[in-house]
Amino acid sequence: MAKLSKFMQQAMNGVHGGEIWQRSQCLAHEYNTNQQIYQVLRSLGYHATDNEKIWKRSNQTVIVCLVDDIISCSNDYESDLPYLFDSNTTVITDNYITCPTQYRVIQLPSSFLGIYHYVPDNQNWQPNRDFAFAVNRIDQRRFILMLELGLRIHLHRGYVNFNCYRPGTSIVVDPKLIDHAQAVEYWNEHWNQSSADQTKYQKSYELLTPQVPIRNYEIEHDDIFLQSFLSIVVETYSSDNNVSVSEKIFRALCTPAPWTVSSGRYTVAYLHSLGFDTLSDLIDHNHYDQLVDVQDKQHVFVWKSLEIIKALKAMDLPTLTARLTQAATHNQQLLRTMAQQWSNESNAWIDQLQHTLK
């Protein structure tokens, strides 16, 4: 239990203290599933490497990558995802891989996503700003999204939280304690990597640089989604051939408020195939969901999100509210069912995993 407490303490900072984390206990469920898989690997003679996700036995490698993009487990920055690992590698993941691979992939049952089941306390959608955009860590994709927003809309029209943390660094609970100089340093690192886009985004860069880290609201983090016409969700990990989902999208699915998501190609289609109500009758997700990164996906995503806001604001609010409540209730119930299924299936799946890896 002490080890679990340390794991939880490292993760439950900043926005990680939000309602979905507390109610679903998804971090504890993820931790427990990892430990079960690790125990199987130990029993089969595998040993952990310096990277706890990578296990070895003779010339065999097993990668355990839950709630993370499998790309994060490779130091190969040249090969495409199908060739990321050799044929002696098995990847155990909840990711949905949308292309053939030369390595073996063992995907967890979709019921594993039930670890995100929760019902928000407040389900009263009362939008007073156009959008919510909350980002804790900075990467190149999120950086471009922030520049796109700064270029296309006045930030005061939305709830914006852009903390500019470098991945792997600790998270400060109070944004007022974030060091501005350090945030600008990380921000500028990404600007220097954007030479092809600097002419396009120069004005936005000059506008936003003095403001980072950005937080233009004082209300509770969970409330910004219920007080916006659109939640612009940004999944941490995404790629053209890999769908990796986390609490961010499930918060949106369980909250009676409209959303779009910047993520891997076909993420929304995948969620829809699992039975989630993705509000496709209200929101044209396909316009951006089908795109690969080289198709200027981030630009199209932000443009489409802002167009969706205009359309939503023109709708009858009581009718829209009823539809959003219907979707959120359906998704909450589906996740509850998945959670029950995973509770019943997990031990049998672990047994099957041991048989498969022998």
Could you read off the pLDDT of 307-336 as tens digits, one per residue?
A: 999 999 999 999 999 999 999 999 999 999
Long-range pairs for 277-285: beta carbons < 8 A, 24 or more residues apart: 277/253, 277/326, 277/327, 277/330, 277/331, 278/253, 279/323, 279/324, 279/327, 281/323, 282/258, 282/312, 282/315, 282/320, 282/323, 283/258, 283/259, 283/308, 284/308, 285/260, 285/261
- The first and second tokens of residue 320, run together, are 């829209």
Q: In CATH, which of 3.30.1460, 3.30.1120, 1.10.3470, 3.40.50 is domain 129-327? A: 3.40.50
Q: What is the pLDDT of residues 27-50, one digit of tens each?
A: 999 999 999 999 999 999 999 999
Predicted confidence at residue 135, as pLDDT, reads: 92
The most confident of the ranges 14-28, 137-151, 310-324 is 310-324
Q: What is the pLDDT of residues 63-90, one digit of tens each?
A: 999 998 898 899 888 899 999 999 999 9
Q: Residue type at 23?
A: R
Q: How far apart are CA 253 and CA 276, in angstroms?
A: 8
Q: What percent of the chain has pLDDT over 90?
A: 82
Distance of CA 346 to the CA centre of its chain: 23
Terminal CA-to-CA distance of the chain, rounded, Å? Answer: 30
Q: Residue type at 39?
A: Q
Cis preceding-peptide flag for 256 (omega within 30 of 0): no
Per-domain residue ranges of the chain: 2-115+340-357, 129-327
Q: What is the pLDDT of residues 82-134, one digit of tens each?
A: 999 999 999 999 999 999 999 999 999 999 999 999 999 999 999 999 999 99
Band the pLDDT of 12: cuts 50, 70, 90.
very low
Torsion of CA 335, 118, 123, 148, to 10 degrees: -80
> Which helix (H) or strand (E) element contains residue 141?
helix 140-152
Band the pLDDT of 8: cuts 50, 70, 90.
very low
Ordered alpha helix ranges (H), 65-114 = none
pTM over 0.85: yes
